Amino acid sequence: MRGSAGLGLAIAAIAAAGVFGVTLFGDKPATWFERAAQAGAVRCLTGASCVQVTGEGKAVKPARPALSADSRCAKKKNWHARSSLLVPIVMCTDERSYLYHMGRFEGAGAEQWMLCAKPDCAREAALFAVK
């Protein structure tokens, strides 16, 4: 009797840990990856802490932040996954479209952003595609 009660408690503890883990980290790996990219995008574009990549693939250190604090894109919830989050790329559209990439890019460090020429950011997203 005592053994089966202990087994039942162990199963309940494992189930509770699983529910807690899914609640905390999301139900799929992309969820936490997307949240990390959203937070990075807001920090990067409102604080001028990241490198801007031009449409030609050149790295430029901006002199001032790309976004003001009252911009629509200064809120994490407005950044959405642009492609598969195997490559963490998120985008946001305010008056202009912005693309944020979290990962190494030649000459641009570990996180970069781009100003998109068109609202869908297709050409810019292709620069960050896994090769």
Given this model, what pLDDT does residue 25 score?
55
Local structure of residue 42 (DSSP, 8 states):
H
Distance CA 88, CA 40 (A): 10
Contact 116, 126 (CB under 8 A): no
Given this model, what pLDDT does residue 23 score?
55
Q: Which pair of tokens denotes residue 79?
A: 């950044």
Per-domain residue ranges for the chain?
28-128
Quick: pLDDT tens for 51-83.
888 878 888 888 888 888 899 999 999 999 876
Distance CA 112, CA 109 (A): 7
Distance CA 37, CA 129 (A): 16
In the chain, the percentage of residues whose pLDDT exceeds 90 is 22
Given this model, what pLDDT does residue 131 score?
45
